[in-house]
Amino acid sequence: MAHISKVKFLGYTFYRWKGKCRLRIHKKSINKMKQKLKELTKRSNGWGNEYRILKLKQYIMGWLNYYKLADMKVILKRTDEWLRRRIRAIYWKQWKKVKTRYKMIKKYNIPEWKVHEFANCRKGIWRSTIMLNSVLTNKEIVNLGYMTMTDYYSKICEN
Protein backbone atom coordinates (compact mmCIF):
# COMPACT_ATOMS: atom_id res chain seq x y z
CA MET A 1 0.00 0.00 0.00
CA ALA A 2 1.19 3.48 -0.83
CA HIS A 3 -0.15 7.00 -0.94
CA ILE A 4 -1.84 7.88 -4.22
CA SER A 5 0.82 10.49 -5.12
CA LYS A 6 3.63 7.93 -4.76
CA VAL A 7 2.23 5.43 -7.27
CA LYS A 8 3.57 5.21 -10.83
CA PHE A 9 1.47 3.19 -13.24
CA LEU A 10 2.15 2.92 -17.01
CA GLY A 11 4.00 6.27 -17.01
CA TYR A 12 1.22 8.07 -15.18
CA THR A 13 1.09 9.31 -11.62
CA PHE A 14 -2.00 10.34 -9.69
CA TYR A 15 -3.00 13.36 -7.63
CA ARG A 16 -6.13 14.68 -5.94
CA TRP A 17 -7.80 17.88 -7.06
CA LYS A 18 -11.14 19.09 -5.69
CA GLY A 19 -11.81 15.68 -4.22
CA LYS A 20 -11.21 13.82 -7.51
CA CYS A 21 -8.34 11.63 -8.56
CA ARG A 22 -6.56 13.08 -11.61
CA LEU A 23 -3.72 11.88 -13.84
CA ARG A 24 -0.42 13.52 -14.65
CA ILE A 25 2.71 12.27 -16.33
CA HIS A 26 5.44 10.84 -14.12
CA LYS A 27 8.76 12.71 -14.03
CA LYS A 28 10.65 9.73 -15.45
CA SER A 29 8.33 9.66 -18.47
CA ILE A 30 8.89 13.38 -19.07
CA ASN A 31 12.66 12.93 -18.86
CA LYS A 32 12.50 10.04 -21.35
CA MET A 33 10.44 12.18 -23.72
CA LYS A 34 12.95 15.03 -23.50
CA GLN A 35 15.83 12.63 -24.17
CA LYS A 36 14.07 11.28 -27.26
CA LEU A 37 13.33 14.81 -28.53
CA LYS A 38 16.97 15.69 -27.92
CA GLU A 39 18.00 12.70 -30.01
CA LEU A 40 15.59 13.63 -32.82
CA THR A 41 16.77 17.27 -32.91
CA LYS A 42 20.47 16.59 -32.68
CA ARG A 43 22.29 19.09 -34.87
CA SER A 44 24.94 16.64 -36.00
CA ASN A 45 22.91 13.59 -37.03
CA GLY A 46 22.99 14.47 -40.74
CA TRP A 47 19.25 14.18 -41.35
CA GLY A 48 17.49 16.40 -43.83
CA ASN A 49 14.86 18.80 -42.54
CA GLU A 50 11.97 16.87 -44.13
CA TYR A 51 13.01 13.61 -42.47
CA ARG A 52 13.48 15.36 -39.12
CA ILE A 53 10.02 16.94 -39.41
CA LEU A 54 8.49 13.53 -40.20
CA LYS A 55 10.21 11.80 -37.28
CA LEU A 56 9.26 14.58 -34.86
CA LYS A 57 5.61 14.47 -35.98
CA GLN A 58 5.47 10.71 -35.59
CA TYR A 59 6.99 10.80 -32.12
CA ILE A 60 4.92 13.74 -30.86
CA MET A 61 1.64 12.29 -32.14
CA GLY A 62 2.35 8.87 -30.66
CA TRP A 63 3.51 10.22 -27.32
CA LEU A 64 0.60 12.62 -26.93
CA ASN A 65 -1.97 10.01 -27.97
CA TYR A 66 -0.62 7.68 -25.28
CA TYR A 67 -0.66 10.36 -22.55
CA LYS A 68 -3.77 12.27 -23.64
CA LEU A 69 -5.59 11.46 -20.40
CA ALA A 70 -3.08 13.39 -18.30
CA ASP A 71 -3.11 17.06 -17.30
CA MET A 72 0.00 18.52 -18.93
CA LYS A 73 -0.63 21.93 -20.50
CA VAL A 74 2.16 23.67 -18.55
CA ILE A 75 4.67 20.90 -19.24
CA LEU A 76 3.87 20.96 -22.97
CA LYS A 77 4.16 24.75 -23.15
CA ARG A 78 7.66 24.65 -21.60
CA THR A 79 8.67 21.69 -23.77
CA ASP A 80 7.45 23.51 -26.91
CA GLU A 81 9.58 26.56 -26.07
CA TRP A 82 12.62 24.36 -25.55
CA LEU A 83 11.93 22.37 -28.74
CA ARG A 84 11.53 25.51 -30.86
CA ARG A 85 14.84 26.77 -29.56
CA ARG A 86 16.48 23.50 -30.59
CA ILE A 87 14.91 23.81 -34.05
CA ARG A 88 16.27 27.35 -34.38
CA ALA A 89 19.70 26.00 -33.41
CA ILE A 90 19.46 23.41 -36.20
CA TYR A 91 18.79 26.10 -38.80
CA TRP A 92 21.51 28.37 -37.40
CA LYS A 93 24.02 25.55 -37.73
CA GLN A 94 22.86 24.82 -41.29
CA TRP A 95 23.52 28.46 -42.20
CA LYS A 96 27.23 28.00 -41.51
CA LYS A 97 28.73 30.94 -43.34
CA VAL A 98 28.05 34.62 -42.74
CA LYS A 99 27.06 34.98 -46.39
CA THR A 100 24.42 32.26 -46.05
CA ARG A 101 23.11 33.67 -42.78
CA TYR A 102 22.88 37.10 -44.36
CA LYS A 103 20.95 35.76 -47.35
CA MET A 104 18.56 33.65 -45.25
CA ILE A 105 17.85 36.33 -42.62
CA LYS A 106 17.28 38.97 -45.30
CA LYS A 107 14.28 36.95 -46.58
CA TYR A 108 12.34 37.82 -43.43
CA ASN A 109 12.09 41.60 -44.07
CA ILE A 110 14.37 42.66 -41.22
CA PRO A 111 16.14 46.07 -41.41
CA GLU A 112 19.52 45.96 -43.12
CA TRP A 113 21.53 46.91 -40.02
CA LYS A 114 19.82 44.17 -38.01
CA VAL A 115 20.49 41.57 -40.72
CA HIS A 116 24.15 42.54 -40.66
CA GLU A 117 24.22 42.31 -36.86
CA PHE A 118 22.55 38.88 -36.82
CA ALA A 119 24.64 37.39 -39.63
CA ASN A 120 27.93 38.46 -38.04
CA CYS A 121 27.04 37.21 -34.57
CA ARG A 122 29.92 35.30 -32.98
CA LYS A 123 28.00 33.92 -30.04
CA GLY A 124 27.52 30.19 -29.65
CA ILE A 125 24.70 28.35 -31.36
CA TRP A 126 22.47 28.08 -28.29
CA ARG A 127 22.92 31.77 -27.47
CA SER A 128 22.30 32.83 -31.06
CA THR A 129 18.92 31.14 -31.08
CA ILE A 130 17.57 33.79 -28.70
CA MET A 131 18.21 36.42 -31.34
CA LEU A 132 16.64 34.20 -34.02
CA ASN A 133 13.22 34.55 -32.31
CA SER A 134 12.59 37.62 -34.45
CA VAL A 135 13.51 35.76 -37.66
CA LEU A 136 12.25 32.21 -37.14
CA THR A 137 9.10 33.07 -35.21
CA ASN A 138 6.74 30.44 -33.86
CA LYS A 139 4.47 30.90 -36.91
CA GLU A 140 7.43 30.51 -39.24
CA ILE A 141 8.47 27.27 -37.55
CA VAL A 142 4.92 25.92 -37.96
CA ASN A 143 4.99 27.03 -41.63
CA LEU A 144 8.19 25.04 -42.10
CA GLY A 145 6.19 21.95 -41.14
CA TYR A 146 7.03 21.42 -37.48
CA MET A 147 4.22 20.49 -35.13
CA THR A 148 3.65 22.07 -31.71
CA MET A 149 2.79 19.77 -28.87
CA THR A 150 0.29 22.17 -27.28
CA ASP A 151 -1.76 22.54 -30.49
CA TYR A 152 -1.97 18.81 -31.04
CA TYR A 153 -2.79 18.22 -27.37
CA SER A 154 -5.64 20.74 -27.53
CA LYS A 155 -7.09 18.79 -30.50
CA ILE A 156 -7.02 15.40 -28.79
CA CYS A 157 -7.42 16.48 -25.16
CA GLU A 158 -9.76 14.36 -23.05
CA ASN A 159 -9.96 16.80 -20.11
pLDDT per residue as tens digits for the range 3-17: 666 667 677 787 677
Predicted confidence (pLDDT) per residue in 130-156, tens digit? 888 888 899 999 999 999 999 998 888
pLDDT of residue 5: 62
The answer, as to whether pTM is greater than 0.75, is yes
Distant-in-sequence, close-in-space partners of 28: CB < 8 Å, separation ≥ 6? 8, 11
Average pLDDT, the chain: 87
Q: According to the 3-state scheme, what is the secondary structure of the chain?
A: CCCHHHCEECCEEEEEECCEEEEEECHHHHHHHHHHHHHHCCCCCCCCHHHHHHHHHHHHHHHHHHCCCCCCHHHHHHHHHHHHHHHHHHHHHHCCCHHHHHHHHHCCCCCHHHHHHHHCCCCCHHHHHHHHHHCCCHHHHHHHCCCCHHHHHHHHCCC
C-alpha closest to that of 84 among 30, 121, 129: 129
Those residues whose C-beta lies under 8 Å from the C-beta of residue 64, and which sit 6 or more positions away, are 149, 152, 153, 156
Contacts of 124 (CB under 8 A, 6+ apart): none
Query: pLDDT band at 80, cuts 50/70/90?
Result: very high
